[in-house]
Amino acid sequence: MPQRPAACLFDLDGLLLDTEPAHARAWQEASTRFGRPLAGAELLSLRGRRRLDCASQVQQWIIAAGGAPLSVQELLAVRQPIAEALLATAPAMPGAEVLVRRCVALGIPMALATSSAQQAVAVKVAPHPWLTLIRERVHGDDPDLGGGKPAPDPFLLAARRLGVAPTACWAFEDSSAGVAAALGAGCRVHVLLPPGVGCQAYPEGVICLNSLEEVELD
């Protein structure tokens, strides 16, 4: 058993909250409305990335398929109302609350390292008061943040704010972009496997989980 982490750095979407189906549905409905349905692999590639980065990618797909030129703002104007309605009722992932409370009990510092903007996080976490136990948060629109995932910046910033070395942290992720970011920061990376995705889809050295209930902190 490895040494207890100096801190735990958590992704939010698809890791602590089961929001990814809502995100995927919102992108799918918005893109389809502009004449370009998204394939499963395309939707999977959007996981873990900031909203504007995702919107730019979907915009490119729509235009490349011969759709009428549209702005990122026009795409988001369709996508955001769909997403917000769905995200407000997203449930917790199995084992998420227990894991967070276990960190508190053991005195392990925690931070969120999420690609979601602060306002979006507020909507999603409102039904889950246990998430207030994670006081340090790095949002996708954090003014101190450089690049978004897959750049390592979110995890480096989270570790710096906690006053711990990134290499002494355990990072918990579910997306390829997030795993790349956490590995780039030097964290010990745990990946919660999305439905239908095997451990072989991720780099060597990550710890694959089928559920957060499998995590052992001591």
Beta-bridge mates of residue 138: 113
DSSP string, the chain: -PPPPSEEEE--BTTTB--HHHHHHHHHHHHHHTT-PPPHHHHHHHTTS-HHHHHHHHHHHHHHTTPPP--HHHHHHHHHHHHHHHHTTPPBPTTHHHHHHHHHHHT--EEEE-SS-HHHHHHHHTT-GGGGG--EEE-TT-TT--SPTTSSHHHHHHHHHHTS-GGGEEEEE-SHHHHHHHHHHTPEEEEEPPTT--GGGS-TTPEEES-GGG----
- Choose the catalytic residue: 13, 53, 142, 153: 13
- Choose the catalytic residue: 11, 53, 142, 153: 11
Verify whether residue 153 is a known catalytic residue.
no
Verify whether residue 11 is a known catalytic residue.
yes
Q: Are the beta carbons of 115 and 141 closer than 8 angstroms?
A: no
Residues carrying an active site annotation: 11, 13
